[in-house]
A and B are shown apart, each in its own frame.
Chain A
Amino acid sequence: MGLDNAWWWQMADEGKLGIQRCLGCHTLRHPPRPMCGDCHSLEWDTVEASGRGVICSYTVLRHPQFPGYEYPLIIVLVDLEEGTRVTSQLVGCTPEQVDFDLPVQMLIQQDPDGFKLPVFQLAGVA
Chain B
Amino acid sequence: MPISLKNETAIAGIGLTEFSKHSGVSELSLAAQCVKAACDDAGISPAEIDGFVTYTLDSTDEIEVARAVGAADLSFFSRINYGGGAAVGTIAQAAMAVATGQATTVVCYRAMNGRSGKRMGQGVSGEITSSDLIHWSWYMPYGMLIPGSWIAMIANKYMHKYGVTREDLGRVAISQRNHALRNSRAYGYGKPLTMETYLQSKLIAEPLCLYDFCQETDGGCAILVTSAERARDLKQKPAVIRAVTQASTRGQEQMTSYYRDELVSLPEMEMAARRVYAMANLGPDDIDAACLYDAFSSEIIMQLESFGFCEPGEGKHLVREGALDIDGRLPNNTHGGLISEGYIHGMNNIAEGVRLIRGTSTGQPPKAVNHVLVSSGVGVPTGAMILGQAQ
Contact = CB atoms under 8 A, between A and B. Distances in A.
Interface stretch (B170-178, B255-263, B363-371): B255-263
B261 to A, nearest CB: 10
A40 to B, nearest CB: 15
Nearest to B145: A66
B134 A2 contact: yes
A5 B137 CA distance: 9
A46 to B, nearest CB: 16
Contacts of B204: 61-64
Interface string B256-276: 101100010000000000000
B135 interface: yes
A1 interface: yes
A87 B256 contact: yes
Contacts of B138: 31, 87
A1 B142 contact: no
A26 interface: no
B72 to A, nearest CB: 42
Interface residues of B, number: 34
A58 to B, nearest CB: 6
B376 to A, nearest CB: 23
Interface in B217-265: 256, 258-259, 263
A61 B145 CA distance: 10
Which size class do A's interface residues fall under?
Answer: 20 to 34
Interface in B147-204: 149, 152-154, 156-157, 160, 202-204
Interface string B130-146: 01001101110111111
A60 B143 contact: no
B206 interface: yes
A75 B156 CA distance: 12
A31 B135 contact: yes
Interface in A28-61: 30-31, 56-61
A21 interface: no
A50 B324 CA distance: 47
A69 to B, nearest CB: 4
Contact of A57 (B134, B135, B157): B157
B121 interface: yes
Nearest to B121: A64
B156 A58 contact: yes
B274 to A, nearest CB: 22
Contact of B259 (A2, A85, A88, A89): A85
B47 interface: no
B116 to A, nearest CB: 17
Interface in A2-16: 2, 4-5
B129 interface: yes
Contacts of A56: 157, 263
B153 A75 contact: yes
Given A2-B134, A59-B205, A59-B206, A77 B143 contact: no
A69 B144 CA distance: 10
A103 interface: no
A103 B144 CA distance: 22
A19 to B, nearest CB: 12
Given A31-B135, A87-B139, A88-B142, A60 B206 contact: yes
B128 interface: yes
Closest 9 CB pairs of A and B: A59-B152, A57-B157, A60-B206, A69-B143, A2-B134, A73-B143, A63-B204, A89-B142, A59-B153
Interface of B: 121-123, 128-129, 131, 134-135, 137-139, 141-146, 149, 152-154, 156-157, 160, 202-207, 256, 258-259, 263
6 contacts: A59-B205, A63-B203, A89-B142, A95-B206, A100-B157, A117-B141
